[in-house]
């Protein structure tokens, strides 16, 4: 069985996860604690190249109790600089890339103890990433964005639960929670969202929405 995939993000009222300049610090301290508690609950946390480059995240557990998950970066052309915090020794890190990655950069990362997996094709197939993690015993994966990576996972029905915090801001042009080609209408989406919970954050200014993502194929199979 493939690992269960949770997608978590903080969005503005107009659905942005970052501004036009890449600013993304939207969450209140309570929301950050929820994020870190989730990191402690999963076995691996996944981000895309732009998030790694723009935010230079640590992806470790700091505002909750628990162990650090494996950090996973999807970076087709290995654009991420090798001095990112992701590549420090605080947690195991895996990079999924393609033959577009410069070989000297792969070597540099390997010397830092980072595992680099070069997949076939011109882009990394997220299904392959999830399957690979499953084979290594990973049972729970947290997808932390950004928008393009969220789209690549969602359009393939690779997300099982969505936890979205709506924050009291409007940014206008910027990065969308799900940033891809898009669906023509709600029917075209290969999944349905079922609301599990909607709650007010302890800060009193944010709403936490928790959905189950049901793949329509699986729904049909269940009906038959
Ligand atoms: N508010 C929040 O909760 C969060 C906000 N953010 C924000 O999101 C922004 C970044 O989002 P966005 O620009 O959409 O980018 P992403 O972080 O999703 O990175 C996208 C890039 O990752 C690489 N990538 C992702 N999936 C694949 C794949 N399947 N195969 C190959 N490469 C892949 C590609 O790089 P390439 O094109 O080189 O192949 C792609 O362009 C940042 O500003 C960050 O701050 C991020 C997370 C949470
Ligand atoms: N859930 C959530 N809320 C926000 O407001 C955010 N900005 C993010 N961003 C994610 O967290 C990463 C930063 O992590 P570190 O604190 O450096 O460990 C960032 O890169 C996004 O993945 N998430």
Number of domains in the chain: 1
ipTM: 0.97
In ligand 2, the atom with minimum distance to the C-alpha of 36 is: 18
CA distance 110 to 59: 19
> What is residue 217's predicted lDDT score, i.e. its pLDDT?
84
Q: Ligand 1, from 21, 36, 49, 142: best to mutate by most atoms within 8 Å of Cβ?
A: 49
Q: Ligand 2, from 6, 23, 59, 93: best to mutate by most atoms within 8 Å of Cβ?
A: 59
**Residue ranges of the chain whose pLDDT lies below 70:** 219-224
> What is residue 213's predicted lDDT score, i.e. its pLDDT?
98
Residue nearest to atom 8 of ligand 1 (CA): 146
CATH number at residue 59: 3.40.430.10
> What is residue 159's predicted lDDT score, i.e. its pLDDT?
98
Radius of gyration of the chain (CA): 17
- Domain of residue 62 covers 4-223
> What is the average pLDDT score of the chain?
96
Using the mean position of ligand 2's atoms as its centre, give its distance from the Cα of residue 200 in Å: 20
Give pLDDT tens digits for 197-209: 999 999 999 999 9
What pTM was computed for the model? 0.96
- CB count within 10 Å of CB 24 equals 22
Q: Residue 213 forms beta bridges with which residues?
A: 193
Is 221 exposed, middle or buried, given 0-12, 13-18 or 19+ CB atoms closer than 10 A? exposed
Residue nearest to atom 5 of ligand 1 (CA): 17
> What is residue 173's predicted lDDT score, i.e. its pLDDT?
98
């Amino acid at each position: 069985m493939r690992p269960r995939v949770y997608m978590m993000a903080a969005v503005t009222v107009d659905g942005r996860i970052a501004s036009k300049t890449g600013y993304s610090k939207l969450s209140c301290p309570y929301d950050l604690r929820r994020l870190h508690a989730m990191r402690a609950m999963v076995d691996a946390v996944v981000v895309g190249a732009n998030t790694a480059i723009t935010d230079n995240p640590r992806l470790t557990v700091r505002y909750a109790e628990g162990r650090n998950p494996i950090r996973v970066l999807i970076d087709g052309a290995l654009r991420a600089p090798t001095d990112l915090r992701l590549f420090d020794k605080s947690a195991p890190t895996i990079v999924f890339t393609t033959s577009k990655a410069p070989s000297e950069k792969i070597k540099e990362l390997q010397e830092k103890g980072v595992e680099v997996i070069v997949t076939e094709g011109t882009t990394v197939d997220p299904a392959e990433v999830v399957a690979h993690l499953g084979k290594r015993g990973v049972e729970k994966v947290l997808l932390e964005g950004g928008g393009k990576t969220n789209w690549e996972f969602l359009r393939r029905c690779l997300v099982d639960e969505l936890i979205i915090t709506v924050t009291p801001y409007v940014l206008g042009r910027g990065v969308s929670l799900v940033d891809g080609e898009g669906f023509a209408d709600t029917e075209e989406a290969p999944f349905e969202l079922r609301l599990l919970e909607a709650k007010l954050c302890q800060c009193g200014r944010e709403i936490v929405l928790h959905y189950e993502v049901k793949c329509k194929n699986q729904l049909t199979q269940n009906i038959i």
